[in-house]
Structure 1
Amino acid sequence: MSSPAQHPPLSVVIPLYEEADNLEPLMARVHEGLANYPGAWELICIDDGSRDDTGRRLRALAECYGPHLRIIQLRRNFGQTAAMQAGIDAARGELIATLDGDLQNDPADIPRLVAELLARDLDLLQGWRRHRQDDLLLRKVPSRLANLLIGWVTGLKLHDYGCSLKIYRSTVIKEIRLFGEMHRFIPVWVAGVTAPERIGESEVRHQPRRFGQSKYGISRTFRVVLDLLSAFFFLRFGARPGHFFGSIGLVFGLLGGMMMAHLLIVKFIMGQPIGQRPLLFTAILFIVVSIQFITTGVLAELMTRTLFAAGAKTHHRIRWQSDPKTAVWKVSP
């Protein structure tokens, strides 16, 4: 445990995709915001396969600021979730802070959030952009609806799941493997490995984008719904998918069996023909569907056990990164 005057080592992780114009002011603001951080810290920037000048400028800035600025370049654009996972894998700090590289998150909020996380003894402190500086119809309204839907489905009540400014304990976030578009539901996934009461939120500043273009659009709303269904499934049935598919199969099997029992009574006791009855075809369909769902559940259980036995592997690929042996901590004077 660290004393109030000395915070644990902190790793700041920033995924970047075609943010060349934001790099210099971003680096300046990060160093300004952490100038008085009472502990050692490092900055990890992940270039997610940018096609602009992001990679070259990052290397130049690393030479300027020093070896506490670590660079990871992915071979191609794998997405924000994969870039964030690459940064978390490389992080050495006891605490990990993540934020976007578009200058809308304020790095000056990080020391306050770290102090609050330690004071409240949390595993995750989620930023809340209460006064969000984005387009009302394209960003704010869909985001609020998505936040309400996520809270209703998962039972974890937060105001702003999508804010990238978060503080984690590394021992907790490194238990989770991020893939797909999971970065939108990180608090939900964290709730699967720690108690929900150890997840909190705090208001943070938010600023309008000054340079570059947003990578998000209205289409993200539809992806959020699909991702939410995936998150709900993996959290409830990730370790026992056979229960999910098997339950559906048993329901269809029960309905199909009841229909067949009724038709048997009609055929052999009442002596009426059943060959042309729609109920017969419906019963056969339900029984076939039942067998398919139960079989799918068994196969899913086998795949899950195989995955757990082999260990999950990340899907991003690194093209170049700073030498970890030369990385140092930045300590404020």
Structure 2
Amino acid sequence: MDLQTFRTDLDAWVEEHRAQLTPAPGGEGSLADQLAHLSVVKRLAYDAGFGRWGWPERVGGLGGSPLYRALLGERLTAEGIVQPGGWSMTEVLAPTMIDFAPPELAAAVVPLLLRGEEHWCQGFSEPGTGSNLAELSCRAVRTDDGWRVNGQKVWTSHAHLSDRCVLLTRTGTRESRHRGITALFVDMDTPGITVRPLETMHGVDEFCEVFFDDVLVPADRLLGDVDGGWAVAMDLLPYERSTALWHRGAYVRRRFEELLDTADPGALDPADVGNVALQLFALRAVSRRTQHRLADGDRLGPETSVDKILLGTAEQAVFDLVATGLSDEVVAGTDSTSARWRSDFLYSRAATIYGGTSEIQRNVLARRVLGLGEEP
């Protein structure tokens, strides 16, 4: 199927299933409700074939270009049918599972994620090591029956509602830094795992602390090589900063258009509107290039930090404009529409923090792309 046919068929399918493809719960709604709705949409898309295009056949896909996935995610997030964060978790974690998990494990579990039967999380950040993964200390020790894990993670999105976790652990010394990290695939119902949700300022329990107390992970849940977890992380993070950002950008752009349709024109400075439109255009242009590089088989690397910086600044600029043009709704509105505007505004404050701070992204670009200093 060519991309234009895919797009045309997708448009027709969305219109045909409007009754089921309802807007995702938003505003100050429950994250559990959002993920339950996400599961319904993913299953519908998978059964119709749209959720399988762009994924390898060996994990339940139909093959073809990753651009199919970009088009599907863009359509669903831009229309608010799904929330971009939950939808994009598949784009962040499934490619790395396909690349690094034992083939039989990937074949068994990736279809569960694509169909919405499971939700997964990403256990990377720790207290004091949010953006500096080389300093992580959650430790895995090899035993006769697998790995014993002890330690803590934090800012783990959706952990309390997830079935599995892609987990980075320390298997070497702290001095070995990134050369002593190992990635594991962990069932979240394993004895010894305690999850404590953290409510954000926009009223959603999106993030969690996760504690591992002598948790047994089977030996066949190793992702990649022992002490080779840095390669897994470096494979995963560009996906977090590529297709996932394409989806987020589509959602932010839609909210910008809704702002222009809703706000009193006299409340917005035309120069500010033009500046925000320019930032969104730059984000889309760079992100589109990244999608096509991915489709061409290029190996994404540290240069995708540019995408993340542009997304963070554009998202905050859009919702700064919202705070000006819809100040009454953002501050004091009580209906569901106002709650969604307020929620998005508050969430945008973290846009330059989540997924690696803008400061860290600039350091990555300086050291690993421009060669302006050695890695510590």
Smaller-chain TM-score bracket: under 0.3
Greater length-normalized contact order (CA 8 Å, ≥ 6 residues apart): 1
Structure 2 length normalisation: TM-score? 0.24
Structure 1 length normalisation: TM-score? 0.26
Q: Which has the larger radius of gyration?
A: 1
Bigger proportion of residues as helix? 2
